[in-house]
Amino acid sequence: GAVVSQHPSWVICKSGTSVKIECRSLDFQATTMFWYRQFPKQSLMLMATSNEGSKATYEQGVEKDKFLINHASLTLSTLTVTSAHPEDSSFYICSGSGVTKNIQYFGAGTRLSVL
Amino acid sequence: GEDVEQSLFLSVREGDSSVINCTYTDSSSTYLYWYKQEPGAGLQLLTYIFSNMDMKQDQRLTVLLNKKDKHLSLRIADTQTGDSAIYFCAESPPYNQGGKLIFGQGTELSVKP
């Protein structure tokens, strides 16, 4: 299957700082990338959908100014958590889909801990 | 509305078969998926089935789809300890833009030696 690489896998930051998470499709062109948030023992909550070269579409209740998404190329999308607070601590997972839009390939996730 | 439901836990003995069940609400969903998540990791696509199929088999995995009852199941034959993980069922309703997936809550499979 296709490979999506996500970095970092774990990040600890101080409250008020910003954190950038990268998501790369290694062997396919991801025309669409998705960002999810997952709380312990819970399902994935879609935060936003981004198409290459376009502004991201955010799900209801997700603050676009807090979670900045950039999808500047067909192989890279980034999520920046701005002015992070302890309540932003979570597991963030990205995925990408290419030619077959309905098949998403997932990154390994990033565990964010905000102190 | 959109809703995918799964039982939360399943425990089996090594070597037995595991059957994980899922119900979904949108009968027009074109694709239905099974993903596996190991602790601290992302989701691994195990298999998917088109809505015009009733069954799909891939090595130890068998997916059964009952469109009338909107029921999807994943059978793992000869379950191993390495199969212990959380399994997510997901659907892809056709009206969703850009292939958005609707996930169930996940079933935690525990395989005992």
pLDDT in tens, B76-113: 999 999 999 999 999 987 766 567 888 999 999 999 99
Token pair of B56 as six digits: 């799909």
In this complex, is the C-beta atom of A60 within 8 Å of any C-beta atom belonging to chain B?
A: no
Per-residue pLDDT, A98: 87
Per-residue pLDDT, B51: 86
Q: Do the Cβ atoms of A106 and B99 come within 8 Å?
A: no
Q: Residue A38 and residue B102: Cα distance in Å, rounded?
A: 14
In this complex, is the C-beta atom of A40 within 8 Å of any C-beta atom belonging to chain B?
A: no
- CA dist B64 → A23, A96, B52 (Å): 33, 26, 12
Tell me which of A50-54, A73-77, B25-29 is least confident: B25-29
Q: Residue A63 and residue B50: Cα distance in Å, rounded?
A: 34
Confidence of residue B25 (pLDDT cuts 50, 70, 90): confident
> Which residues are registered as beta bridge partners of A49?
A34, A57
Q: Do the Cβ atoms of B99 and A107 come within 8 Å?
A: no
Confidence of residue B59 (pLDDT cuts 50, 70, 90): very high
